[in-house]
């Protein structure tokens, strides 16, 4: 650092938080803080320098190097810093098989970034191959590399190492190991992103709620239960996400009683998927009071807060680099309590419900749909019961989300100063909702997809957890029928010959357009159509209102139980992107295509539901063709809003259905608003009492080539 300062000039302060910069051997980074929640994430190889002469001590001025150093006292005469960094320096790579780019291309790229390419495996750092190399029994290079213990990695290792400007951990891109990811002990945030979902979906949930004994203790097998005294359950979970320090950890603390044994304390701290490197202790205590004192001490050490104010009054102040409590509720996460794959068929076959309704309830009571939903959001940690959070914790998540939205909407900062605001709140967010892959939000779309939508998904799954409870080992003869009664909503399958069925098919066929995923278009086949009579927001109440329209609503299977039991909720916030541009509203569309786009999750999970709801738009409708600047007034006045899309339904084909309900069923044609941010017309209302779910259309997404059709029973 002394030579650096003498040659290039004294370092200036961090441009984001005004703290000092430090050199870690590769780059300059800041060790300051944005807030008590977050460290500064500023990193650079060309740091800011002070535009002032160096102040040299007399001992240096009188030395033999004084004349040389005086040349650099003048900022204008200092050399420019910024010689290109060779990110792959010292790395020797050998290439094998047919890669996505030619070997010559990769040779140029590797050498450009300081690495070398060898034609043999002798003395190399790693062998880069196509994943199909293994299935083809492998080349001579592959065999030789395996015998020599040389890492064999996917081509993505090169892509990511160059993109991230540093070599990535090779174990995360391993091609040939037969061991599971869990067995290799690779944290999920260091895995190849394409591999993480497979691991996260199949991993058993280790703690299902506040009363759940952590699975790795194995004490539940001996009848272990969470210790309770004076109304306090001694089970706590914590989270810490600090991207500036590279921290993304969870912690579990429990006191566990075991029949005919001492009180046990359990402590575990680490990263998701990295059990091999986690700090873990299971201890026996003869003295209960001493065990409680140690539990309290650890709580205060981890959080910097006193235990009693948090436990009794939920008072808590976040401290720098300290954990934040993930406040679990006293229940069972649906990823544990729902039906497992082996139980689904048996539960449906032995149900007294009509077969199609039993099938419908089987979907909504399965663990799978909730596991996938959390996986898509990166919130699938098996060590934290994200599907069984307290109302208080969800309220704090919503509070921070709204603060986040307000901060980025109102900030006057630009450039790096603006990035600091995004970074600060991103770290807050991923501390409250622990993610396997936290990152810094960059724009409103990130905030909508990974912030607002993630919160709404977790909120809805928490409702599902409370309704489903624990039926994984249920002693109930008919768990599906029992949960159907708790739903408080009548569901019946429509006959294909019925007028309602034909009307819905016409509406769907007329207003549908293929969902585009990559280079493939997807149509839908209708599996079933269910009529719904909800107790929340019943149709009889909507009939009394004016300007009623039957509209499409997009949803995910993981939110369906909440919708059916409690009705639709308005969006959690207002953002200038589709889905949130109308503010805290319930949004629907006259195009089935829009609902289908929202409901599509993945090619390997092709089934979903499109919702048809009766919406009362009211006597006064505000029409907009761009995101409204003031959504607050719309929310307060509770007026109906129509957002014009690039395409509209042909009004000449609209018709009136029963009970004076309009069906805007018409061919999709270009509108007069080709510059709209919306693809199709969208409608917004602000009072849940203006919307009543009427039909659920179960669809299967299929590669185009097959026309829209009704699936055979």
- Ranges in the chain annotated CATH 3.40.50.10190: 92-179
Q: For the segment 342-370, what is each residue's pLDDT rounded down to a tens digit?
A: 788 888 888 999 999 999 999 999 999 99
What are the residue ranges of helices labelled H in 96-195? 103-112, 132-135, 140-148, 156-164, 181-184
Tell me the C-alpha distance between 487 and 581, whole Å.
Answer: 31
pLDDT at 166: 82
pLDDT at 71: 59
- What's this model's pTM, rounded to 2 decimal places? 0.82
The pLDDT, as a whole number, for residue 184 is 43
Residue 323, Cα to own-chain centre: how many angstroms? Answer: 20
| CB neighbour list of residue 320: distance below 8 Å, 6 or more residues apart | 33, 36
State the CATH class of domain 92-179. Answer: alpha beta
Contact 492, 358 (CB under 8 A): no
Q: How many residues are listed for the chain in this entry?
A: 713
Give the C-alpha separation, 21 to 495, whole Å: 70
Asked if 172 contacts 126 with a C-beta cutoff of 8 angstroms, the reply is: no
Residues 274 and 400: their CA atoms lie apart, in Å, by: 29
CATH code for the part of the protein at 2-77: 2.20.25.630
Return the DSSP state at 291: H
C-alpha 465/C-alpha 440 separation (Å) is 30
Alpha-carbon span 535 to 155, nearest angstrom: 55
Residue spans in the chain of domains classed CATH 3.90.228.10: 488-710
**Coil, strand or helix: which one is 22?**
strand
Classify burial at 439, counting beta carbons within 10 Å of its beta carbon; exposed 0-12, middle 13-18, buried 19 or more: middle
- CA-based end-to-end distance of the chain: 74
CATH topology of domain 202-480: Poly(ADP-ribose) Polymerase; domain 1 (1.20.142)
488-710 CATH, one of 3.40.50.720, 2.130.10.10, 3.90.228.10, 2.60.120.10: 3.90.228.10
Q: Tell me what pLDDT residue 495 has.
A: 96
In the chain, which residues fall in CATH 1.20.142.10?
Answer: 202-480
| Positions of the chain with pLDDT under 50 | 178-185, 197, 706-709, 711-713
Looking at the chain, the domain(s) classified CATH 2.20.25.630 span 2-77
Write the pLDDT tens digit of every residue in 454-474.
999 999 999 999 999 998 876
Q: Are 412 and 430 in contact (CB under 8 A)?
A: no
Residue whose token pair is 């449906």: 348
């Amino acid at each position: 650092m002394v030579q650096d300062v003498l040659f290039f000039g004294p370092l200036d302060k961090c441009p984001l938080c005004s703290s000092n910069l430090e050199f870690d051997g590769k780059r300059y980074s800041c060790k300051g803080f944005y807030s008590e929640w977050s460290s500064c994430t500023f990193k650079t190889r060309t740091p800011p320098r002070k535009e002032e002469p160096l102040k040299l001590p007399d001992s240096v001025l009188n030395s033999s190097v004084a004349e040389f150093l005086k040349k650099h006292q003048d900022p204008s005469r200092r050399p420019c810093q910024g010689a290109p960094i060779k990110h792959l320096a010292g790395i020797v790579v050998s290439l094998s098989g047919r890669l996505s780019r030619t070997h010559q291309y990769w040779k140029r790229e590797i050498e450009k970034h300081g690495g070398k390419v060898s034609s043999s495996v002798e003395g190399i750092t790693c062998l880069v191959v196509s994943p199909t190399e293994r299935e083809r029994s492998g080349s001579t290079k592959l065999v030789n590399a395996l015998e020599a213990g040389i890492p064999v990695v996917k081509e993505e290792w090169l892509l990511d190492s160059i993109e991230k400007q540093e070599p990535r951990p090779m174990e995360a891109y391993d091609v040939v190991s037969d061991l599971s990811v869990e067995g290799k002990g690779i944290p999920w945030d260091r895995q190849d992103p394409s591999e993480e979902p497979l691991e996260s979906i199949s991993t058993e949930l280790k703690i299902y709620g506040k009363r759940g004994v952590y699975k790795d203790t194995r004490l539940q097998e001996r009848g272990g239960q969470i210790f309770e005294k004076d109304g306090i359950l001694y089970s706590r979970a914590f989270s810490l996400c600090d991207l500036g320090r590279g921290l993304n950890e969870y912690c579990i603390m429990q006191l566990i009683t075991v029949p005919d044994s001492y009180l046990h304390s359990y402590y575990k701290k680490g990263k998701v998927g990295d059990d091999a490197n986690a700090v873990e202790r299971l201890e026996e205590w003869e003295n209960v009071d001493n065990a409680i004192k140690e539990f309290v001490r650890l709580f205060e050490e981890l959080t910097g807060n006193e235990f009693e104010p948090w436990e009794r009054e939920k008072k808590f102040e976040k401290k720098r680099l300290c954990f934040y409590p993930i406040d679990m509720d006293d229940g069972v996460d649906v990823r544990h309590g729902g039906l497992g794959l082996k139980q689904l068929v048996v539960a449906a076959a032995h149900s007294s419900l009509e077969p199609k309704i039993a099938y419908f309830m089987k979907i909504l009571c399965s663990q799978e749909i909730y596991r996938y939903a959390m996986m898509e959001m990166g919130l699938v940690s098996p060590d934290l019961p994200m599907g069984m959070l307290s109302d208080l914790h969800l309220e704090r998540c919503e509070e921070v989300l709204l603060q986040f939205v307000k901060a980025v909407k109102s900030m006057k900062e630009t450039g790096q100063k603006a990035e600091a605001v995004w970074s600060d709140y991103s770290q807050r967010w991923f501390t409250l909702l622990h993610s396997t892959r936290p990152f810094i939000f960059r724009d409103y779309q990130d905030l909508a997809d990974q912030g607002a939508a993630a919160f709404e998904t977790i909120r809805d799954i928490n409702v599902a957890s409370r309704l489903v409870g624990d039926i994984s080992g249920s002693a109930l003869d008919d768990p599906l029928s029992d949960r159907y009664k708790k739903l408080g909503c009548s569901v019946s399958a429509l006959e294909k010959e019925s007028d309602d069925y034909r009307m819905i098919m016409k509406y769907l066929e007329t207003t549908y357009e293929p969902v585009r995923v990559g280079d493939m278009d997807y149509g839908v086949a209708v599996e079933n159509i269910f009529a719904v009579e909800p107790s929340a927001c019943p149709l009889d109440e909507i009939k009394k209102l004016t300007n009623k329209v039957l509209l499409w609503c997009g949803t995910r299977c993981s939110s369906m139980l909440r919708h059916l039991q409690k009705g639709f909720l308005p969006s959690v916030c207002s953002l200038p992107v589709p889905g949130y541009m109308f503010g805290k509203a319930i949004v629907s569309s006259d195009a089935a295509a829009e609902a289908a786009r929202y409901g599509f999750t993945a090619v390997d999970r092709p089934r979903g539901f499109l919702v048809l709801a009766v919406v009362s738009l009211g006597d006064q409708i505000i029409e907009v063709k761009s995101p409204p600047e003031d959504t607050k007034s719309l929310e307060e006045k509770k007026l109906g809003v129509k957002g014009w899309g690039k395409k509209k339904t042909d009004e000449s084909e609209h018709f009136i259905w029963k009970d004076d309900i309009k069906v805007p069923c018409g061919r999709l044609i270009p509108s007069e608003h080709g510059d709209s941010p919306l693809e199709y017309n969208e409608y917004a209302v602000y009072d849940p009492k203006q919307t009543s779910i009427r039909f659920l259309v179960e669809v299967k997404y299929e590669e185009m080539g097959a026309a829209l059709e009704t699936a055979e029973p």
